[in-house]
C-alpha cells in the first residue's frame, strides 16, 4: 500500500486527507444515529398524546423529564408554548433537531465531488509527466513513461474509490433525515389536532355529531 501511495504522486496526499475526513464524519454520524435510536421511545410519545387529550400537562412534564427522544423534545416545546403559538414553537424546535441531523452532511457531499476531481487532476499530472519522460528518453525507451502512467491510474482509482464508498452512507443518512422529518410532522400535527379539540370542545362536539 505504501508503494502504491508513493507511486500515486503528490496528489495522493490531499486524497488521503479527503479519505480521513470522510471516514471521520461517517463514523461520527453512525454514532450519532445509534444514539438517536437508543433515545427513541415511541410508547412514551403515544402516552404524551394520550395525556394531552385529557389536558394532564403536569403528568406530561413529569413523564418526559430527562427524555432524549427528539420527538418528545419537540412535542414538549409545543406544549410549553401552547397558549401562544404551539405550531411555531414546534416548527422552531424541529428545525433545530433537523439541523443536528444534517450536521457534517455537507462535508460528505463535498468529498464525493472533490475526490474524483483530485483523481482527474492527478491523472493529468501523470500524463504530463509521461510525455515529458517520453520526450527525454525517446520512443525507444517506453518503460520511462510507466511511472507517469501509474500515477495517472492510481490517483483516478483512489479518487473514484473515495467517492463511491462515500455515496452509500451519504444516501443512508439522508434517508434517515427524511424519515425523521416525516415522523416529526406526523406527531406535531397529531398534537395540534389533540390540543385544538381540547381547547375547542364545541368544535369537537360538532365533528362528533357529523
**Which residues contact residue 207 at a Cβ distance below 8 angstroms, ignoring those fewer than 6 apart?**
197
Mean pLDDT to the nearest integer, 45-67: 88
Residue among 163, 198, 190 nearest 22 (CA): 163
- The number of beta carbons lying within 10 Å of the beta carbon of residue 177 is 17
Confidence check: pLDDT of 147 > 80: no
Cβ neighbours for 103, distance < 8 A, ≥ 6 positions apart? 29, 32
The alpha carbon dihedral of 187, 42, 72, 91 has a sign of negative
Higher-confidence position of 210 and 147 = 147
Angle at CA of residue 32, ends 109 and 158, nearest 5°: 35
Q: How far apart are CA 127 and CA 167, in angstroms?
A: 28
pLDDT at 103 over 50: yes
Q: What whole-number distance in Å separates Cα of residue 194 and Cα of residue 54?
A: 9
pLDDT at 202: 54
Average pLDDT over residues 63-79: 91
In the prediction, which pLDDT does 2 show? 79
| In contact, 64 and 72? CB cutoff 8 Å | yes
pLDDT of 207 higher than 80 = no
- With a cut of 90, say whether residue 94 has pLDDT above it: yes
Task: Give the pLDDT of residue 86.
Answer: 86
Q: Where are the domains of the chain?
A: 11-200
What pLDDT score does 201 carry? 61
Nearest alpha carbon to residue 156 among 182, 113, 117 = 117
Enumerate residues 6+ apart whose C-beta is below 8 A from 190: 49
Question: What predicted TM-score, i.e. pTM, was given to this entire model?
Answer: 0.83
pLDDT for res 135: 67
Amino acid at each position: 500500500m505504501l508503494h502504491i501511495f508513493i507511486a500515486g504522486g503528490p496528489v495522493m496526499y490531499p486524497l488521503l486527507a479527503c479519505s480521513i475526513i470522510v471516514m471521520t464524519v461517517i463514523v461520527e454520524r453512525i454514532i450519532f444515529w445509534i444514539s438517536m435510536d437508543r433515545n427513541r421511545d415511541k410508547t412514551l410519545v403515544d402516552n404524551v398524546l394520550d395525556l394531552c387529550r385529557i389536558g394532564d400537562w403536569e403528568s406530561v412534564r413529569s413523564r418526559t423529564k430527562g427524555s432524549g427522544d427528539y420527538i418528545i423534545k419537540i412535542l414538549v416545546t409545543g406544549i410549553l408554548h401552547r397558549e401562544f403559538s404551539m405550531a411555531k414553537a414546534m416548527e422552531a424546535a424541529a428545525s433545530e433537531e433537523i439541523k443536528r441531523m444534517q450536521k457534517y452532511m455537507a462535508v460528505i457531499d463535498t468529498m464525493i465531488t472533490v475526490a474524483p476531481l483530485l483523481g482527474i487532476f492527478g491523472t493529468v499530472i501523470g500524463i504530463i509527466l509521461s510525455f515529458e519522460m517520453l520526450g527525454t528518453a525517446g520512443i525507444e525507451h517506453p518503460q520511462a513513461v510507466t511511472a507517469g502512467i501509474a500515477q495517472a491510474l492510481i490517483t483516478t482509482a483512489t479518487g473514484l474509490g473515495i467517492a463511491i464508498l462515500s455515496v452509500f452512507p451519504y444516501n443512508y443518512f439522508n434517508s434517515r433525515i427524511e424519515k425523521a422529518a416525516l415522523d416529526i410532522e406526523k406527531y406535531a400535527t397529531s398534537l395540534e389536532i389533540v390540543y385544538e379539540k381540547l381547547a375547542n370542545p364545541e368544535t369537537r362536539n360538532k365533528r362528533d355529531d357529523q
